[in-house]
Amino acid sequence: MSKHLARDDSVWNRLIYGSSRIPVEEVQETTFNEKEEQEPKKRSMNYRIFAIYAWVAVTAVFALYETQKLVSPLKFGPGLVTGRRNVGIGSTAGVFSVQEAPKEIIEVSYPFVPSKRYGESLHTELLANKTFSSWGDPSFVEYTPPEIEFNRVVLTLHTNVTGVQYDRLAHLYVGGAEIWRTSTIEPGGSLVFSIFSKDVSKYLALFKEKNGILFQLDNVVNDNINGEPHVELYADFYNDHSTHGAEFGPVEVDASSNDERYQYFDIRKPADKVYPLIEQKDPKTPPIVTLSGEQHLELKLPQVSRNTTRLQLDVFSSGNGDEEFWYTNVLDKFKSIFAPSELLGHGPLRIVNVYFDGEKIASQTQQPFIFTGGISPSLWSPVVAINAFDLPSINVDVSGLLPLLWEDGEHTISFDISNGLDEANDEHSGVGDGWITGVNLLTYENKDVVKGSGEIIHIGNRTRANSIAFGRKIFLSQIVNGILEGELTSELTLTLANGEEVSTIASSFNKGEISNVQSYLNSGANQKVVHTGHNAKSFLLVNKFDEEDRIHSTNVSLSYPLVLSSNEKSSSNGTDLNISIVYSVATTLDIDDKRVMGSAVGQNGTSIFHQRSDGNYGDANLTTNYKIQVSGPTKDFTYKRRVDAEHGKIVFDHEDFEDGTEDWSQINELISQIASINGTANGPLPELPTNW
């Protein structure tokens, strides 16, 4: 029997387990700081899983053949669906003589990329142009900076694929540093394409010098799974003459401080240096590290220049394979409750912990990412799940480490993926295999600073976690909660070029919190999951000699509620699987106690999947709402968009833009309602707010 729950005969096992984002035929060699390296287990595909793969492929072909007269999969050259302007690279274009027009797959997200203030692109360069048909064959180019003055870089990824294929995880590395993690679309037997842009200006330093650029998209192609994604990656270079910067991604906010002392610590600019902390032994080989169990990833920190005033970590980490749907996992003692079927264990909490010289300084929970083959593939065409095209990194301020990194580079930082319960209860369950992780250190310098000095005065952390669960052979009810916190405080004194000193105390605080409620009835045929994750991050800078004299504060809050329901019913000619999902991400940014950005994106969908002896097929409806309100340096605005998709097509797409919005009450209430989504053991499933 499969090890994937009593979901052997349920929708989650049929639709999501086994469809890994990366192929499992080969394993990358990874070194950990353990006495003996444990080789990853190669899991053989049992006949049930093989059957799942087969019917997914057959389903797509049969369903599309009946409705669209599907032709045989075709291979297309670069530029066919993208419509990209000619940039000096030759490409062949085909025609759709017998096939319907290609279908665009979109993500509803922040639309103003690149920012209008960047002006026109000064130079466009093709960084990747490849069809990915195998495992371990990334695209690699030697990059040379264009001979122009530029200070902003925006990347645009064009992807097209046809045939039948799973979604795949993709990574972009520049100079060995991962700067973009994305995923591909599932074609479902027809030609589909996507276009997505990402502002990578905070990594400007990597584009200012010669570097290797590596685009990794591991794929497996065989007789049944034949889709070969074609990727074109373009970089546009801009020279932004505005004096305003952005402290939160590409969104230009009013991040100015009322205190002139903050100018020496300002991060409203690209990082001055970017250090990829995972060593890349070969520029043509991705620096991949996959964490599992209780493994720690230990990395050496560099010595930084004496005029460095801020440090930030970017941690890319996402669950794959057995850990892709970690938020549906159960406590180890219930893995066999529906025997002979097996559930996945290690519990439903996942926290990224950061340690400095062995002491924990930060904890953040991960967003539950859903790829285009996740839960129910028909849900995510033509609108993908939140952040499927841009899996954000976890950003952690570690400026408090400066006193030691100013002096030498003999210190280490380490990371683990915790299930929360182990730390709280001194257990050793660990996590499953599949946490693909990359780490960068970003440093920010100030030209008016000659040197810095100081000391770490406090490192603190706290862990609280508990679980309540009961079940028998036909049902299971489980509630798991966890809160993990980390704090780092240091004295930082900057000596300026004019001889003056700025003496401060810098504190960073991070909290990751998860509440997870699950229930299973009818031996797993009916399943419900209510998962709510929260992250809180703050950075506080005060006068060393008067702690009531605040120089600057930044507070970021993120919420990730996810509600899933699956019901299986037998009919005279097969099985019907009904799925519903509520998925949302809400974010706030406060500078010096003033809200300067609030955003919310929510998805509400239903799907039905029919399993029949003569062919399987499915259908879905999905509504996506997006709203963001910004207090900018020159103007305030609110942007809203709603997209409704039914039966694989967009039937409604409306957006609003309003200048000068100063009333924050509505979006604050919306975000508060999203953040308060929670589950109870027997209560009704929560829903998204209706007032967007």
- pLDDT tens, residue by residue, 600-649: 999 999 999 887 887 678 899 999 999 999 998 777 999 999 999 999 99
* b (16+ CB within 10 A) / e for 26-49: eeeebebeeeeeeebeeeeeeeeb
Who's near 374: CB < 8 A, 6+ residues apart?
15, 16, 167, 324, 325, 380, 385
Cα–Cα distance measured from residue 368 to residue 533, given in angstroms and rounded to the nearest whole number: 9
Whether 201 is in a domain gets the answer yes
Ranges under pLDDT 50 in the chain: 1-99
**Residue 90's pLDDT is what?**
26
In a domain, 99, yes or no: yes
Residue whose structure tokens are 């100079």 = 175
Name the nearest CA neighbour of 466 among 416, 515, 532. Answer: 515
| CATH code where residue 53 lies | 2.60.120
Q: Tell which residue, 512, 510, 460, has the closest CA to residue 481.
A: 512
Report d(CA 252, CA 249) in Å as an integer: 8
- Asked if 189 contacts 449 with a C-beta cutoff of 8 angstroms, the reply is no
56, 167, 67: which is closest to 107 by C-alpha? 167
Helix (H) or strand (E) holding 446: none
Kindly report the number of other CB atoms within 10 A of residue 25's CB atom.
10
Per-residue DSSP letter, 43:
P
Q: Where are the beta strands (DSSP E) in 10-162?
A: 103-104, 123-131, 139-143, 152-161
CA atoms of 598 and 493, how far apart (whole Å): 33
Q: Is residue 313 part of a domain?
A: no
CB 493 within 8 A of CB 504: yes
**d(C-alpha 37, C-alpha 24), whole Å:** 19
In the block, which residue shows the tokens 């405080």? 489
Q: Burial letters for 620-641: b for 16+ Cβ neighbours within 10 Å, e otherwise?
A: bbbbbbbbbbbbbbeebebbbb
**Helix/strand/coil (H, E, C) string of 189-207?**
CCCEEEEEEEECHHHHHHH
CA dihedral 266, 268, 272, 278 (to 10 degrees): 100
> CA angle 349-394-167, nearest 5°?
75
* Residue 426: predicted pLDDT: 93
Paired tokens of 34: 């353990």
Query: Does residue 663 fall inside a structural domain?
Result: no
Is-contact 190 103, C-beta < 8 A?
Answer: yes
Q: Structurally, how many domains does the chain consist of?
A: 1
Q: Is 79 contained in some domain?
A: yes
- Which residue type does 209 have? E
Residue 113 lies in a domain: no
For residue 245, the model assigns a pLDDT of 54
What is the distance between the alpha carbons of residues 358 and 413, in angstroms, rounded to a whole number?
A: 8
Which residues are CB-contacts of 554 (< 8 A; sequence separation ≥ 6)? 247, 537, 538, 539, 589, 590, 591
Sign of the C-alpha dihedral computed for residues 366, 372, 374 and 375 taken in this order:
positive
Q: Is residue 324 part of a domain?
A: no
CA-wise closest residue to 324 among 372, 264, 261, 380: 372
DSSP symbols for 449-466: EEEEEEEEEEEEEEEEEE
Q: Domain for residue 423, yes or no?
A: no
Please tell me the distance from the alpha carbon of residue 324 to that of residue 322, in angstroms, as a whole number: 6
* 440's tokens: 């960068």
What is the bridge-based pairing of β-strands 192-199 and 103-104?
parallel
- In terms of residue numbers, what domain contains 149? 46-105+123-238
DSSP 524: G
Copy the structure tokens of residue 29: 């060699």
**What count of other Cβ atoms lies within 10 Å of the Cβ of residue 302?**
13
Phi, psi of 189 (to 5 degrees): 95, -10
